[in-house]
Amino acid sequence: MPFRKFLTPCRMRLLPAALLAAGLALLAACTTATPYQPAAGTGYGFSDRRLEDNRFLVAFDGNSLTPKEDVELYLLYRSAQITLQTGNDFFVLVQRDTEANTRYVDNTTFYGPPYGNCWGGWGWGPRWGWGPAWRGWGYGCGGPTFATTSTYPVTRYSAQAEILVYPGRTPGGDPNAYDAREIVANVGPYLKLPPA
Protein backbone atom coordinates (compact mmCIF):
# COMPACT_ATOMS: atom_id res chain seq x y z
CA MET A 1 0.00 0.00 0.00
CA PRO A 2 1.48 3.39 -0.96
CA PHE A 3 2.39 5.57 2.03
CA ARG A 4 0.16 8.46 0.89
CA LYS A 5 -2.91 6.20 0.75
CA PHE A 6 -2.08 4.93 4.25
CA LEU A 7 -2.06 8.46 5.67
CA THR A 8 -5.69 9.45 5.38
CA PRO A 9 -6.72 12.94 6.59
CA CYS A 10 -7.83 11.45 9.93
CA ARG A 11 -4.52 9.66 10.40
CA MET A 12 -2.60 12.78 9.35
CA ARG A 13 -4.22 14.66 12.28
CA LEU A 14 -3.27 11.87 14.69
CA LEU A 15 0.36 11.65 13.53
CA PRO A 16 1.63 14.75 15.43
CA ALA A 17 -0.12 13.54 18.61
CA ALA A 18 1.47 10.10 18.27
CA LEU A 19 4.92 11.63 17.72
CA LEU A 20 4.42 13.91 20.74
CA ALA A 21 3.38 10.96 22.92
CA ALA A 22 6.44 8.96 21.83
CA GLY A 23 8.70 11.93 22.55
CA LEU A 24 7.18 12.45 25.99
CA ALA A 25 7.61 8.76 26.82
CA LEU A 26 11.27 8.95 25.82
CA LEU A 27 11.75 12.11 27.88
CA ALA A 28 10.10 10.49 30.90
CA ALA A 29 12.47 7.52 30.62
CA CYS A 30 15.42 9.92 30.69
CA THR A 31 14.13 11.87 33.70
CA THR A 32 13.74 8.96 36.13
CA ALA A 33 16.27 6.85 37.97
CA THR A 34 17.31 3.57 36.37
CA PRO A 35 14.97 0.80 37.55
CA TYR A 36 16.10 -2.76 38.27
CA GLN A 37 16.11 -4.13 34.73
CA PRO A 38 18.40 -5.85 32.21
CA ALA A 39 20.78 -3.40 30.54
CA ALA A 40 20.09 -4.86 27.08
CA GLY A 41 18.35 -2.30 24.89
CA THR A 42 18.66 0.67 27.25
CA GLY A 43 22.32 0.59 28.26
CA TYR A 44 21.30 1.04 31.91
CA GLY A 45 20.60 -1.82 34.29
CA PHE A 46 22.21 -5.14 35.19
CA SER A 47 24.37 -7.43 33.08
CA ASP A 48 26.31 -10.57 33.97
CA ARG A 49 28.63 -13.12 32.44
CA ARG A 50 29.64 -16.58 33.59
CA LEU A 51 33.44 -16.84 33.77
CA GLU A 52 33.83 -20.31 35.28
CA ASP A 53 31.50 -22.95 36.67
CA ASN A 54 30.93 -21.01 39.91
CA ARG A 55 32.44 -17.60 39.02
CA PHE A 56 30.45 -14.71 37.54
CA LEU A 57 31.09 -11.10 36.56
CA VAL A 58 28.11 -8.94 37.53
CA ALA A 59 27.55 -5.25 36.73
CA PHE A 60 24.93 -2.57 37.20
CA ASP A 61 25.01 0.74 35.30
CA GLY A 62 22.79 3.58 36.49
CA ASN A 63 21.91 6.84 34.80
CA SER A 64 22.70 10.25 36.31
CA LEU A 65 19.53 10.15 38.46
CA THR A 66 20.34 6.79 40.10
CA PRO A 67 22.01 7.17 43.52
CA LYS A 68 25.23 5.31 44.23
CA GLU A 69 23.54 3.33 47.02
CA ASP A 70 20.87 2.02 44.64
CA VAL A 71 23.49 0.97 42.07
CA GLU A 72 25.38 -1.01 44.72
CA LEU A 73 22.20 -2.60 46.16
CA TYR A 74 21.02 -3.65 42.70
CA LEU A 75 24.42 -5.26 42.11
CA LEU A 76 24.05 -7.29 45.33
CA TYR A 77 20.48 -8.25 44.42
CA ARG A 78 21.52 -9.47 40.96
CA SER A 79 24.37 -11.47 42.55
CA ALA A 80 21.86 -13.11 44.90
CA GLN A 81 19.54 -13.92 41.97
CA ILE A 82 22.37 -15.59 40.06
CA THR A 83 23.32 -17.58 43.15
CA LEU A 84 19.79 -18.94 43.58
CA GLN A 85 19.24 -19.52 39.84
CA THR A 86 22.34 -21.72 39.73
CA GLY A 87 21.12 -23.82 42.68
CA ASN A 88 23.49 -22.31 45.23
CA ASP A 89 22.95 -20.68 48.62
CA PHE A 90 25.57 -17.98 49.17
CA PHE A 91 28.03 -15.89 47.21
CA VAL A 92 31.38 -14.34 47.99
CA LEU A 93 32.46 -11.00 46.56
CA VAL A 94 35.96 -11.63 45.26
CA GLN A 95 36.37 -8.21 43.73
CA ARG A 96 34.06 -5.20 43.85
CA ASP A 97 34.30 -1.68 42.42
CA THR A 98 32.03 1.32 42.00
CA GLU A 99 33.03 3.96 39.47
CA ALA A 100 31.76 7.52 39.22
CA ASN A 101 31.59 8.92 35.69
CA THR A 102 31.28 12.72 35.96
CA ARG A 103 30.87 15.16 33.11
CA TYR A 104 30.32 18.89 33.36
CA VAL A 105 27.43 20.61 31.62
CA ASP A 106 27.40 24.31 30.72
CA ASN A 107 24.08 26.07 30.97
CA THR A 108 24.03 29.47 29.24
CA THR A 109 20.98 31.72 29.36
CA PHE A 110 20.69 34.86 27.23
CA TYR A 111 18.65 37.84 28.36
CA GLY A 112 17.67 40.72 26.10
CA PRO A 113 15.07 41.87 23.63
CA PRO A 114 14.24 39.14 21.11
CA TYR A 115 12.75 41.62 18.65
CA GLY A 116 13.17 45.29 17.91
CA ASN A 117 15.25 47.37 15.55
CA CYS A 118 16.95 44.47 13.82
CA TRP A 119 19.16 45.02 10.82
CA GLY A 120 21.64 43.21 8.66
CA GLY A 121 22.19 41.83 5.20
CA TRP A 122 24.46 41.70 2.18
CA GLY A 123 25.10 44.18 -0.62
CA TRP A 124 27.41 45.17 -3.47
CA GLY A 125 29.95 47.88 -2.82
CA PRO A 126 33.59 48.83 -2.31
CA ARG A 127 35.76 46.61 -0.20
CA TRP A 128 38.12 48.90 1.70
CA GLY A 129 39.12 50.70 -1.47
CA TRP A 130 40.09 47.63 -3.50
CA GLY A 131 37.24 47.72 -5.92
CA PRO A 132 33.76 46.21 -5.95
CA ALA A 133 33.07 43.08 -3.94
CA TRP A 134 30.33 41.49 -1.90
CA ARG A 135 30.22 42.88 1.59
CA GLY A 136 28.19 42.00 4.63
CA TRP A 137 27.40 43.54 7.91
CA GLY A 138 26.30 42.11 11.23
CA TYR A 139 22.85 41.33 12.42
CA GLY A 140 21.66 42.88 15.62
CA CYS A 141 18.63 43.97 17.56
CA GLY A 142 18.23 47.12 19.59
CA GLY A 143 18.89 46.95 23.29
CA PRO A 144 21.54 45.28 25.43
CA THR A 145 21.95 41.52 25.61
CA PHE A 146 23.22 39.71 28.71
CA ALA A 147 24.21 36.09 29.29
CA THR A 148 24.73 34.03 32.42
CA THR A 149 26.65 30.76 32.37
CA SER A 150 26.68 28.11 35.05
CA THR A 151 28.51 24.80 35.04
CA TYR A 152 27.26 21.83 37.02
CA PRO A 153 28.45 18.23 37.35
CA VAL A 154 26.39 15.27 36.16
CA THR A 155 27.52 11.97 37.70
CA ARG A 156 26.41 8.44 36.97
CA TYR A 157 27.57 5.36 38.83
CA SER A 158 28.56 1.92 37.59
CA ALA A 159 29.23 -0.99 39.94
CA GLN A 160 30.77 -4.33 39.07
CA ALA A 161 31.82 -7.37 41.04
CA GLU A 162 33.32 -10.77 40.51
CA ILE A 163 31.46 -13.33 42.61
CA LEU A 164 31.88 -16.99 43.54
CA VAL A 165 28.70 -18.98 44.28
CA TYR A 166 28.53 -21.95 46.67
CA PRO A 167 25.97 -24.35 48.17
CA GLY A 168 25.50 -24.75 51.91
CA ARG A 169 25.62 -22.47 54.93
CA THR A 170 27.11 -18.99 54.65
CA PRO A 171 30.49 -19.05 56.42
CA GLY A 172 30.49 -16.92 59.56
CA GLY A 173 33.16 -14.30 60.01
CA ASP A 174 33.66 -13.60 56.29
CA PRO A 175 32.40 -10.04 55.57
CA ASN A 176 32.47 -10.75 51.81
CA ALA A 177 30.09 -13.74 52.03
CA TYR A 178 26.36 -13.07 51.57
CA ASP A 179 23.34 -15.31 52.10
CA ALA A 180 21.46 -15.06 48.79
CA ARG A 181 18.00 -15.66 50.28
CA GLU A 182 18.49 -12.95 52.90
CA ILE A 183 19.64 -10.44 50.27
CA VAL A 184 16.57 -11.18 48.12
CA ALA A 185 14.26 -10.89 51.14
CA ASN A 186 15.81 -7.70 52.51
CA VAL A 187 16.65 -5.78 49.32
CA GLY A 188 13.73 -6.96 47.16
CA PRO A 189 11.10 -4.64 48.72
CA TYR A 190 13.23 -1.58 47.89
CA LEU A 191 13.73 -2.34 44.20
CA LYS A 192 12.41 0.23 41.75
CA LEU A 193 11.00 -1.83 38.90
CA PRO A 194 10.30 -0.60 35.37
CA PRO A 195 6.70 0.40 34.62
CA ALA A 196 4.54 -2.45 33.37
Where are the alpha helices (H) located in the chain, listed in sequence order? 3-6, 9-30, 68-85, 180-187
| Tens-digit pLDDT profile for residues 84-141 | 999 999 999 999 999 989 888 887 776 665 554 555 555 555 544 454 544 444 445 5
Q: Is position 3 within any domain?
A: no
Q: Is position 7 within any domain?
A: no
d(CA 46, CA 163): 14
Range of the domain at 40: 34-112+143-188
Q: Is position 196 within any domain?
A: no
Q: Is position 71 within any domain?
A: yes
| Tens-digit pLDDT profile for residues 154-181 | 899 999 999 999 999 999 889 999 999 9
Q: Is position 22 within any domain?
A: no
Residue 42: exposed, middle, or buried by beta-carbon count in 10 A (0-12, 13-18, 19+)? middle
Q: Is position 13 within any domain?
A: no
